[in-house]
Amino acid sequence: MIFKQLFESSSSTYTYLLGCEDTGQCVLIDPVFDTASRDLQVIKDAGLELAFTLETHVHADHLTGARRLKQLSHSQIAAPAMDELPCVDVGVKEGDAFLIGSIALHPLFTPGHTSTHHAYLLEQGGVKWLFSGDALLIEACGRTDFQSGNAEDLYDSIHNKFFNLPGNTLVYPGHDYEGRCVTSIAQEKNRNPRLGNNTSKAAFVDIMNALDLPYPRKMDFAVPGNQLCGQCPDNVPEALRKPCEFHEQG
């Protein structure tokens, strides 16, 4: 398997490239609109062809690159079937493996950050890899105060779907804001300040309710744009419109 972790600095988003060496096909998990051209160059340099983009959820902090990458490379768009987005080519759901050549990603329904959030589990080289989206971050977790978020659901998702995995499971999150790249289930069970050391559900809910986080600056256009798989809506502020020029020029 060919694996690359790619970073978009404006939203501190990680995009993950998984490539099958047998077929030359690859998938990008959670691509970003702004870095679509860069990601395609990385794929080309690796001798791969983009078959799919795959979303963990409808993002509020950036526009997905799914639609743009489809226009540029004829890739297909995959996302949780529960979102029922008309622009999606392949709906994924827990219990049905998502295949890219010899690579099998297993969707895990993990609501809490959003009501339809999914993570993806892979076994490679005898080790499990978890692409946790915005549910579980490095010594943190996704917020639950908007977009059908629910702290109790997130607690259950992390404890029932993630913390039951082997401790050496590698966790690759959707974001990190401090320059870190990867964590593990064992580390998060021990060191996560919101969830570790057997934190109770009630204590976790209190922590999340007290965060008082700022309103996401891109949310008002990112959510409707991502419900169209990354189409720029009309309300993108002028200062943030540059990446939209590709869409507007066809």
**Cα(131)–Cα(110) distance, rounded to whole angstroms?**
12
- Give 4's contacts (C-beta < 8 A, 6+ positions apart): 16, 17, 42, 46
Give the predicted TM-score (pTM) of the model.
Answer: 0.95
Residue 237 reports pLDDT greater than 60? yes
**% of residues, the chain, pLDDT over 90:** 88
How many C-beta atoms surround the C-beta of residue 94 within 10 A? 15
Domain contains 239:
no
Residue 245 in domain = no
Q: Which two tokens stand for residue 156?
A: 């259950």
Q: Which domain holds residue 176?
A: 2-232
Amino acid at the residue 37: S
Residue 246 located in a structural domain: no
> How many beta carbons lie within 10 A of that of residue 101, not counting itself?
17
Dihedral sign, Cα of residue 24, residue 29, residue 33, residue 39: negative
Residue 34 lies in a domain: yes
Q: What SS3 class is residue 159?
A: helix
Per the domain annotation, does 227 fall within a domain?
A: yes
Q: Are 52 and 75 in contact (CB under 8 A)?
A: yes
Interval 30-56: pLDDT, tens: 999 999 999 999 999 999 999 999 999
Q: Please, are residues 120 and 173 in contact by the beta-carbon 8 Å criterion?
A: no
Is residue 173 very low, low, confident or very high in pLDDT (cuts 50, 70, 90)?
very high
- Please give the structure tokens belonging to residue 232: 């720029």
The domain total for the chain is 1
Give the CATH number of the domain where residue 40 resides.
3.60.15.10
Query: 111 in a domain, yes or no?
Result: yes
pLDDT at 246: 58
248 located within any domain:
no
pLDDT value at residue 203: 98
Asked whether residue 250 is assigned to any structural domain, the reply reads no
Note the pLDDT of residue 232: 87
Judged by DSSP in three states, 5 sits in strand
